[in-house]
Amino acid sequence: MEISSEFQEYLTQNFNLALSLIIKSNAVALAINDWVVANTGAIIDNYDPYTWKYYINLSGNYSPYDQPIYIYSLDTGEKILLSVENLANNPVTKENYYPGSFFYNQLINQYPLQQDLILSILYPVPIDEAINAKDGTILNYNSNYVEEQEYTLMRDLQDWIYGQYVRWNIDDYSISDSLYVPAFRAVLYNNIIPKLLNLRLLRCKTIEVHSFHLKQYLNSNNNIGKYSNYLTREEQLYLYRNLPYLRRRSGFKKVFTDLIENLAIPSSVNISAFYMYTTNTFNGYVSINDFYTKSLTGAQGLLNNQFTLNDVLNLESPLLKNNPYYISKEYNKIYDLTQYTLENIYDTKMLYVDNINYPHPFDFRFHEIIFNELMYLAFTENYKAISIFTLKNSFYYLSALDAVYLLVYIANIYNGIEIENLPTLRPVRVLRRTPPTYEEIQSLLIENDYAFIDLESLYNDIVSMFPSDYNMYNIISFYNYCEQIYQTLRKTYYYTTTFNNPNNRAFFENFIRCFFSDYVLPVKEVQSYSEWLAEKSIDLSNYSRNELLSLYTQLLKSITNYDLSEISEYEETIKAIVKIMEALISYTLQFILNISLVNRSLDFKQIREYNFETELINQFYIPIPNIYGITIPHFYDRMTSIFNNNIQYNLNMTISLNSPSNNLNMLSSEELSNIVSVLSS
């Protein structure tokens, strides 16, 4: 019987979880002591378990009787000792050395007698905890194979193991039969895998259901499991729990409203219904019909959306291939039926999915920062990580710079662009290795123009926010480096939007630009891509576009820790919700999608005039590191609510009270000082 790839992956996950289990056995500890004495002649204190090889190994340390284990770091390519400390400093290596992985199996084949030590280094246990634990206790395991919602799975597995120890682990048998202990543990571990599978089966139709079973159930009902990646866990469980009800009542209006409330609204998908309204005029006694939309996911009532009959037909035209033909053929009939109706209001079967997608709220994007920094740091050898990826079940190792050249090549052939030689890299907006000096920033100021009271504090704040360590050896440190740049740019962007004074705003934007530079990085050795790929033994000639995209995603994650596959586009989420609703509703509905892409921030920079109020506003300075997120609570709210809304009234009142003239330009310096003092109070 052929097994599906998804089920095979599920079985592998259960198998690898069982392999990673570290289960305490005092009998094994005593047997190891006997082995040490027999092979080394060492004297072991049987009353001091802290000196036993078994417990020393469980804590992730080498005992005096162990052979050092060396591996090549997948982060730097250097030969390192396999230890808890070194794995903590080499996160990519630690991520790839797990029970069942290619690298783990290679290591076990190389050190077959030290498998328990290798496993304990990967999943160490505090020695006190190991010594004091009850026999049969699960001390540690690979938690990546237990999903977040499975919070009782390991507890139930632990109870089952305790039961096996109570029933079958009889210590006296080990006195007469030296193979009893390994035989018992062999049977125990062989039964752990089917027990895991059964425990997960028992959790079907509960909130702890494994994602594999949940997706398979959704696939068996209208094949909607393929959209599960676009749904939250709550939305998946809603469908999982209610699918029989939804299918039995697929023609009920209640089902439609339930889908709106539990899928569309949580996913911010705006769906409106078309209603036809008939109004009579006395201009030739012609009945005029207009179509309005009423929001189903937002505020109820008529919206300011009005459509003519032609507008509606144009919206319906692309829904099916032959729609344009039938619309033109039946137009007169459609016109008559909609013009001469018996009722004033008609429901229609048309739904308008009108959403605004803000895919990139800033003029900078995180993935652009990732790729530009990768190009520059790899070329200048400040980033020394190694990319590990698979092609046709074979492992490949590339330096960071080689990974960049391969990413460029894949991107070009994916888009049908011929590229012959290794290209000149042109990273833009790269963080400078040396920040601009305070004198450089001062030179940006326009002479006699007001900027900041405390420019030096502002400068120090900005410098402290950007990262200063430019040498990175693993993908985690590189990702955090780019994340810090991105978050700093977000904060400075929102800070810039608070300026009314155009000169101050321009100064601050130029100030931030001084921290970045563009570069031209020619190849160190001119070489054709065909020769370069042959040297690396990489063959992409038979790859489809989907395979190229998958390879690009894998390669980018392997060198930057940035996963494109986890980024669900809002547009795709909208389409997935619509497809699910179509599958679960028995009557015919027409979903008209209108997804508008708007590439700007909600807090965009408005055009503002230079006026007296800005002189007062700029007297305030809040340290930029205190600014987070989309809003700037203390600074922005104070400036907006106090000054932008009330400044003109207060200013006029103050002028009339303190000056005989109402002309602001004719105020003396003393009168202006009085106004400032009154407003400040």
Let me know if residue 156 belongs to a domain: yes
In degrees, rounded to 5, the angle at the alpha carbon of residue 416 between the alpha carbons of residues 412 and 420 is 55
CA distances from 291 to 5, 344, 355, 636 (A): 49, 12, 19, 42
Regarding whether 194 and 337 lie in a shared domain, the answer is no
CA pair distance 492, 514, nearest whole angstrom: 13
pLDDT for position 653 = 40
Range of the domain at 306: 271-357
List the structure tokens of 183: 């035989």
- 602 in a structural domain: no
- Residue 68 in domain: yes
3-state secondary structure of 355: strand
39 and 162, same domain (yes or no): yes
Q: Residue 1: its pLDDT value, please?
A: 53
Spatial distance between the Cα atoms of 104 and 100, rounded to a whole number of angstroms? 6
**Percentage helix, strand, coil for the chain under 3-state DSSP, each rounded to 5:** 55, 10, 35
Indicate the length of the chain as a whole number.
681
> Which SS3 state, helix, strand or coil, does residue 338 take?
helix
162 vs 42: CA distance, rounded Å: 33
- Cα separations in angstroms, 655 against 422, 501, 643, 679: 69, 22, 16, 11
Report the pLDDT value the prediction gives residue 290, as an integer from 0 to 100.
Answer: 64
Domain boundary among 157, 174, 202: 202
Domain assignment present for 94 = yes
Count of the separate structural domains present in the chain: 3
Q: In 3-state terms, what secondary structure has residue 220?
A: coil
> Is 613 in a helix, a strand, or coil?
helix
Question: Same structural domain for residues 189 and 287?
Answer: no
- Domain final residue, candidates 183, 202, 221: 202
Query: Considering only CA atoms, which of 297, 310, 213 is closest in space to residue 260?
Result: 297
Q: For 220-308, where are the alpha helices, taking DSSP H only? A: 233-248, 253-259
Q: Are residues 64 and 167 in the same domain?
A: yes
Residue closest to 473 by CA, chosen among 575, 360, 378, 598: 378
Distance CA 23, CA 28 (A): 10
Whether residue 295 is found in the same domain as residue 154: no
Q: Could you tell me where the DSSP H helices lie in 416-471?
A: 438-442, 455-465
Residue 87's CB is within 10 A of a number of other CB atoms, namely: 20
Digit-coded pLDDT (tens) for 571-624 = 788 889 989 998 998 888 888 877 665 554 544 445 555 444 444 444 444 455
- CA dihedral (456, 457, 460, 464) in degrees, to 10, reads -170
Is the sign of the CA dihedral 442, 443, 444, 450 positive or negative? Answer: positive
**Environment class of residue 596 by beta-carbon count within 10 Å: exposed (0-12), middle (13-18) or buried (19+)?**
exposed
The low-confidence residues of the chain, meaning pLDDT below 70, are 1-2, 279-292, 297-305, 356-361, 446-454, 500, 565-569, 595-681
- d(C-alpha 238, C-alpha 221), whole Å: 14
One domain, residues 193 and 297: no
Q: Count the Cβ atoms, other than its own, within 10 Å of residue 344.
A: 11
**635-650: buried (b, 16+ CB within 10 Å) or exposed (e) per residue?**
bbeebeeebeeebeeb
In whole angstroms, what separates CA 151 from the centre of its chain? Answer: 23
Pairing of strands 590-597, 345-357: parallel
Domain boundary, last residue among 147, 172, 202: 202
Measure the CA–CA gap between 271 and 262, rounded to whole angstroms: 13
Tell me the one-letter amino acid at 395.
F
Residue 273 tokens, joined: 């219904």
β strands within 506-580, DSSP E: 516-517
Contacts of 174 (CB under 8 A, 6+ apart): 27, 180, 181
CA distance 613 to 76: 56
Cα separations in angstroms, 435 against 26, 89, 250, 581 = 59, 28, 63, 54
> Within a domain: residue 235?
no
Residues 100 and 185 in one domain: yes
Task: Tally helices (H) and strands (E) across the chain.
Answer: 30, 13
Answer yes or no: do 195 and 303 share one domain: no
Hey, is 260 helix, strand or coil? helix
User: Where do the DSSP E strands lie in 205-338?
Assistant: 271-280, 287-295, 302-307
CA–CA distance, 117 with 441 (Å, rounded to integer): 57
Residue 40 located in a structural domain: yes
Residues 6+ apart with CB under 8 A from 288: 278, 279, 280, 281
* Gap between the terminal Cα atoms of the chain: 83
- Residue 531 in any domain: the answer is no
| Whether residue 175 sits in one domain with residue 53 | yes
Check: CB of residue 550 under 8 Å from CB of residue 477: no
Q: How many Cα atoms occupy the beta-carbon half-sphere of 179 within 13 Å?
A: 3
Asked if residue 340 belongs to a domain, the reply is: yes
Retrieve residue 386's tokens: 């190694």
Residue 458 identity (one-letter amino acid): L
Q: Are residues 26 and 134 in the same domain?
A: yes
User: Do 144 and 24 share a structural domain?
Assistant: yes
71 forms beta bridges with 80
Residues 296 and 187 in one domain: no
Picking from 519, 540, 520, the residue whose alpha carbon sits closest to that of residue 529 is: 540
Sign of CA dihedral 186, 7, 239, 596: positive
Q: Does pTM surpass 0.85? A: no
